[in-house]
Amino acid sequence: SGQHQPRRMSNGRHGMSVCSAFLDDIRNLRANAVLIIGVLTFAVLVWYHSEKLFGDAPPSTTRSKLKLSGGFANIKNEVLDIEKAMTDILANHKGVSQAAELAKMAVREQYELRTKYRAAAIFVFKQQGTNLHLAMRNAAKRNFIKEIVLLHDMSKPVDSFGNPVKEWLKCPKEIYGKPVNYVKSTQPLDELHKFYACASYTKDARTNVCFYQAPARDTENYIESMWATFLRSPSLLYTAVGAMTYYNDAELTFREDAYGIDAGFAYLNAGALFLKSHAVNFVKRIEQLQVEDKTMYGPDVESPAKLYRKSADVFFSLWLNRPPCELSNDIVPYKRQIDEPKVYERNAFARRALQQESHVLALKLLLEQAITYRDGLAKVSRVGRVTNRTLATYRPDAYSSCANDKCLLITNVPAVNPTPTHLNGYQLGTRLKDLLERKLPPQECDVFKAHQYHYAVDGNPSTQWVTTNANISEGDYFGLDLLKLHKDVQNVTVVAAHPFQDEMVVEVSMRGRSWYPVTSRPKGFVKTSWRGFPVTEYVYDLSDSLAAAWQRILELPSQKHAMTPTPPLYIRFLRFRALKDYNLPFIVMDISYRVGKPLDALASKRIK
């Protein structure tokens, strides 16, 4: 889906190949590109029959009076002539050639990323049941999941409910064509099981990513958007969490540039993606710590080895020394009980408080490692010493999956104010201790949960995402990641209660690195009101606006071709950016977009 094999172009015919390739692209691009073809075809057709092109004599009477019975061959020839004329026009247009090259680069990058990374789904369980079967099927349906690893935890003869733990004799060998590797483990590894499974039990040598989830959690509504976000920066840890867990984990982030620390805690049970190499190195580090502890503590003193096993997620997320990218989603179990998601969210702070000792020890180990490796500009990292440049960590601006798992909310407005970047070891420890002693969420967290990120993309206009911690400043934005390159984005609809929505600039991008402003004035109508603010639905027609932009570009004189920015031929990202400060927050009820068929523009819009 969305994968295109990039073409190779010879050096000898580079200019003509670019134009020919651009024509190939433009035939299959989104609706606004098809509209351009219509405009160009009409113009060239007029030009083709013009007396200025063919001399003073009028066109042949025979040609102008084609009969239906014998006109098809002539029409075909004229289409070929039109395409040749269009190629000649575009061959000398540097802006068009550059746009085609950028589009091919984006398509090639998308294709290479999707083929480079191959994931294994990891499930750790004691009892097989309906939840596990549903979770396995959900994972196996995904193109990026290439195999499934089932680790049967048989370290105890009975489970927590007193039921006997027995071997799964009829475990499936494959699901939807994906091979299943069933592994029995009698080692008491607790949370470490998932990392051992990822590091040691994947059979395909090409597997380089692991997806983990607890069997009881339903990831169907966000697994694809998690994967798309992972591909934006694969070195990070990606997880899906509820609103309160997100807020709690956002507070538990730490950065100290002098020590090279930029880390945070993450919750993995509701879905996590991480590189297999991270799991391999983490297992080696834990085994090294266990050897060191035996030497240090002796036989009569209890070592921290038990903490490593029971709180492995805590140690792993901090040991990576990169802030996790968590998506604030609607986390639900397969068997939803009355009020279960609410109870789950309320336990987020209490769950962390129960692991105080593990969190403190994890931070202590990170500080010790940082001091050990500190030497000039050398910094601590997940695998050893790196240069100071490694501190510039790129965290994708994705914050919540759309309800249909076909897009993500993107923004640069955080829910929690960033932590100070200059905290010494004592300050880090004190901050962690204070945060972990809370067993109930603070008022700020309750406010965030009531107006969380997910409410902008949950498909329910009666809920709203509100940037509750700050008013909007110039440059703040929100928008959508469409997960892949689209060639036929028609429009985007925003339901918002902030009155400055129509004053914001709409921007689109292929790769999220450079943005093209779209001169589209929205059509809006008031739907209802929220706390005294009118709730307005704004519809932005991207197809018409981008088609008009291309028409203007093609009419430019040649000396302006190279310096004039061109619209992207594909769209993956779109956003609304504030052009000045506002004494109000973002208040967004819903964001959605429409993708039409490539010929929608010709079928529904007049060519002027």
pLDDT tens digit string along 119-178?
999 999 999 988 999 999 999 999 999 999 999 999 999 998 899 999 999 999 999 999
Q: Would the pLDDT of 59 be above 50? A: no
297 pLDDT band, cuts 50/70/90, is confident
Higher pLDDT, 530 or 13: 530
Residues 6+ apart with CB under 8 A from 565: 516
Looking at residues 480-497, what average pLDDT do you find? 94
In sequence order, the β-bridge partners of residue 121 are 148, 211
Is 5 within a domain? Answer: no
Out of 146-150, 288-292, 454-458, 585-589, pick the least confident. 288-292
Question: Which of the residue ranges 152-156, 325-329, 547-551 would you say has the lowest mean pLDDT?
Answer: 547-551
Residues 121, 229: one domain? yes
Question: Looking at residues 195-204, what average pLDDT do you find?
Answer: 97
Rounded CA separation 377/381 (Å): 12
Q: Are 483 and 574 in contact (CB under 8 A)?
A: no
Assess if residue 281 is contained within a domain. Answer: yes
Residue 147 has a pLDDT of 98
Residue in 179, 204, 199, 203 with CA at minimum distance from that of residue 189: 199
Least reliable range by pLDDT among 5-19, 64-78, 176-190, 254-268 = 5-19
Token pair 């499930």 in the structure block, residue: 123
pLDDT reading at 426 higher than 60: yes
How does residue 83 score in pLDDT terms, banded at 50, 70 and 90? low
Q: Is residue 3 part of a domain?
A: no
Q: How much is the average pLDDT of 503-525?
A: 93
Residue that finishes a domain, picked among 112, 136, 155:
112
Same domain, 569 and 464: yes
The answer to whether 401 touches 221, Cβ cutoff 8 Å, is: yes
Is there a contact between 241 and 249 (Cβ–Cβ < 8 Å)?
yes
Local confidence band at 8 (pLDDT 50, 70, 90 cut-offs): very low
Taking the C-alpha atoms of residue 348 and residue 500, their distance in angstroms, rounded to an integer, is 36
Q: For the residues of 405-439, what is the DSSP string, one character each?
A: SS-EEEES--SSPPPPS---HHHHHHHHHHHHT--
Q: Kindly give the pairing relationship between strand 253-256 and strand 379-380.
A: unpaired
Query: Which residue bears the tokens 């110039």?
Result: 474
pLDDT tens profile 86-110? 565 555 566 677 778 888 889 999 9
pLDDT at 284 over 90: yes
Question: Residue 196 has which token pair?
Answer: 């051992």
Q: Does 447 lie in the same domain as 507?
A: no
Is residue 267 in a domain? Answer: yes
Out of 26-40, 156-170, 377-391, 476-490, which region has the weakest mean confidence (pLDDT)? Answer: 377-391
Confidence at residue 6, expressed as pLDDT on a 0 to 100 scale: 42
Let me know the angle formed at the C-alpha of 347 by 344 and 351, rounded to the nearest 5 degrees. 120
Name residue 213's amino acid: Q
The answer to whether residue 570 sits within a structural domain is yes
Q: DSSP of 579-602, one letter per residue?
A: SS--SS--EEEEEEEEE--TTHHH
**Whole-number pLDDT of residue 396:** 94
In this structure, the answer to whether residues 476 and 430 fall within a common structural domain is no
Distance of CA 572 to the CA centre of its chain: 10
Confidence of residue 67 (pLDDT cuts 50, 70, 90): very low
Give the least confident one: 131-135, 343-347, 581-585. Answer: 343-347
Where residue 538 sits, what CATH number does that domain have? 2.60.120.260
Same-domain check for residues 311 and 406: yes
583 and 523 assigned to the same domain: yes
User: Tens digits of per-residue pLDDT, 522-542?
Assistant: 999 999 999 999 999 999 999
In this structure, what is the dihedral angle of CA atoms 308, 313, 316, 319, given to the nearest 10 degrees? Answer: -80
Question: Does 147 share its domain with 162?
Answer: yes
Tokens 């494959």 — which residue? 174
Query: Are both 351 and 291 inside the same structural domain?
Result: yes
Classify residue 1: in a domain, yes or no.
Answer: no
Same domain, 507 and 587: yes
CA atoms within 13 A on the CB side of 581: 4
Residue 11 in this model has a pLDDT that exceeds 50: no
Does residue 531 fall inside a structural domain?
yes
Confidence of residue 416 (pLDDT cuts 50, 70, 90): confident
What residues are paired with 325 via a beta bridge?
238
Across 289-317, average pLDDT: 83
Does 471 have pLDDT greater than 80? Answer: yes
Q: Indicate whether 131 and 96 sit together in one domain.
A: no
Once rounded to an integer, what is the mean pLDDT over residues 45-70? 42
Last residue of a domain, one of 453, 477, 493: 453
Helix axes 14-27, 31-48, angle to 10 degrees: 120
User: Could you tell me the CATH number of the domain that includes residue 191?
Assistant: 3.90.550.10
Mean pLDDT of 357-376: 76
Domain that holds residue 433: 117-453
Percent of the chain with pLDDT over 70: 73
Do 76 and 158 lie in one domain? The reply is no
Question: What is residue 561's predicted lDDT score, i.e. its pLDDT?
Answer: 58
Pair (85, 24) in one structural domain: yes
pTM as predicted: 0.81
pLDDT band at 501 (very low <50, low <70, confident <90, very high): very high
Pick the more confident residue, 333 or 236.
236
> Does residue 2 form part of some domain?
no
Overall number of domains in the chain: 3
Phi then psi for 449, rounded to 5 degrees? Answer: -65, -35
Specify the pLDDT at position 344: 57
Compute the mean pLDDT over every residue in the chain, rounded to the nearest whole number: 81
Give the residue, 79 or 207, on which the prediction is more confident.
207
For the four alpha carbons of 77, 78, 81 and 83, in that order, the dihedral sign comes to negative
112, 127, 153: which is the final residue of a domain? 112
Q: What is the pLDDT of residue 536?
A: 97
Closest-CA residue to 416 (of 269, 572, 243)? 243
Residue with tokens 């003869």: 157
Task: Tell me what the mean pLDDT of segment 278-286 comes to.
Answer: 95
Q: Which amino acid is at 164?
A: P
Asked if residue 37 lies in contact with residue 96, where contact means CB atoms within 8 angstroms, the answer is: no
Per the model's pLDDT, the better-predicted residue between 467 and 3 turns out to be: 467
Cβ-contact 274, 258 below 8 angstroms: no
What was the pLDDT predicted at 301? 62
8 Å CB contact between 331 and 242: yes
